């Protein structure tokens, strides 16, 4: 079943204000749907810093966004892999003024998606990650029971040039409730090695584990302490060849 796109909201400043406390979690709760796009060129060009949630299908991206924002159905989540089929943007910010945008991306690696759809999506995603001008951070969601897979590694390669230029990067180990404490500690240390010094956090939507930590980090990314607005990162040069297919 495909996700039904919702009508774009052209001006985020006219969305109703949701009262919020002055905390990263309160800020998260201000999330509201902004727009949805099946193709990159349908996304509005924004100057607001944008953070993309990427990862294998069924890893828990949409659920994580719903948990962080405390809104049950902001992003489409489902037991059935391949639920998210568009790039969905959510605006964050108090008094209805958008100061950050979250992007929920379709997952990769779901075998039951038709080959042509897979290739089209991989292209859209690679182009998004390489060329989205206001993209300032990437959250990679990974189910620690599977670890970082070959597809995750390919994606890491695609974004490496931008990470080297300062793009923020976090690996979230999802569904931590399915692991014992010892397994969690082991998964964390393995992922830290694979992340090459990047941030890694355990997360459970079920147990609300890691919610404060992740909210704080995303707040820090988009609200630098020196008061300067978070720089929207310069996009990397577009790849000369077609990006390598994220396929199994
Ligand atoms: N136990 C547990 N289940 C979770 C957790 N997070 C997500 N899930 C479940 O995992 C399934 C997939 O979640 P989604 O959030 O739809 O995954 P997604 O990464 O957005 O998937 P795609 O849209 O297909 O890319 C759903 O059945 C969720 O309920 C978690 O922290 N713990
Ligand atoms: Mg999803």
Taken in order of first residue, the domains within the chain and their CATH numbers are 21-221 (3.40.50.300)
pLDDT (average), residues 26-47: 93
35 lines ligand 1 (CB under 6 A): no
Q: Is the pLDDT of residue 133 over 60?
A: yes
- What percent of the chain is modeled with pLDDT above 70? 79
- What is d(CA 239, CA 157) in angstroms, rounded to the nearest whole number? 12
Site of tokens 């990427």: 54
59 lines ligand 1 (CB under 6 A): yes
- What is d(CA 46, CA 65) in angstroms, rounded to the nearest whole number? 20
- Measured in Å, residue 228 CA sits from the centre of ligand 2 at 32
The predicted pLDDT at position 76 comes to: 82
- Whose CA is closest to 26, among 61, 65, 68? 68
The predicted pLDDT at position 236 comes to: 52
- Measured in Å, residue 64 CA sits from the centre of ligand 1 at 8
Question: pTM of the prediction?
Answer: 0.84
Position 39 confidence tier, pLDDT thresholds 50, 70, 90 = confident
- What is d(CA 114, CA 108) in angstroms, rounded to the nearest whole number? 12
- Ligand 1, atom nearest to 203 Cα: 31
- What is d(CA 21, CA 6) in angstroms, rounded to the nearest whole number? 28
- Mutation probe of ligand 1 site: the residue of 76, 78, 118 with most atoms within 8 A of C-beta: 78
- What is d(CA 176, CA 143) in angstroms, rounded to the nearest whole number? 8
């Amino acid at each position: 079943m495909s996700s039904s796109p919702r009508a774009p909201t052209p001006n985020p400043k006219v969305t109703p204000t949701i009262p919020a406390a002055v905390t990263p979690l309160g800020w998260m709760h201000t999330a509201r749907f902004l727009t949805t796009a099946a193709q990159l060129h349908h996304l509005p060009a924004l100057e607001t810093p944008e953070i993309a949630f990427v990862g294998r299908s069924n890893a828990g991206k949409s659920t994580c966004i719903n948990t962080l924002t405390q809104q049950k159905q902001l992003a489409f989540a489902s037991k059935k892999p391949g639920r998210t089929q568009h790039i969905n943007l959510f605006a964050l910010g108090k008094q209805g003024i958008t100061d950050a945008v979250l992007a929920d991306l379709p997952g990769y690696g779901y075998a039951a998606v038709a080959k042509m759809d897979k290739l089209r999506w991989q292209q859209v995603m690679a182009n998004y990650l390489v060329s989205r001008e206001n993209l300032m951070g990437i959250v990679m969601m990974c189910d620690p029971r599977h670890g970082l897979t070959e597809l995750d590694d390919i994606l890491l390669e695609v974004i490496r040039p931008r990470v080297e230029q300062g793009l923020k990067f976090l690996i979230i180990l999802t569904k931590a409730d399915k692991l014992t404490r010892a397994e969690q500690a082991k998964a964390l240390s393995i992922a830290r090695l694979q992340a090459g010094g990047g941030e890694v956090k355990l997360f459970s939507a079920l147990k609300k584990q890691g919610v404060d930590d992740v909210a704080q980090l995303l707040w820090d990314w988009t609200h630098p302490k020196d008061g300067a607005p978070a720089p929207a990162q310069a996009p990397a040069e577009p790849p000369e060849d077609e990006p390598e297919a994220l396929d199994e």
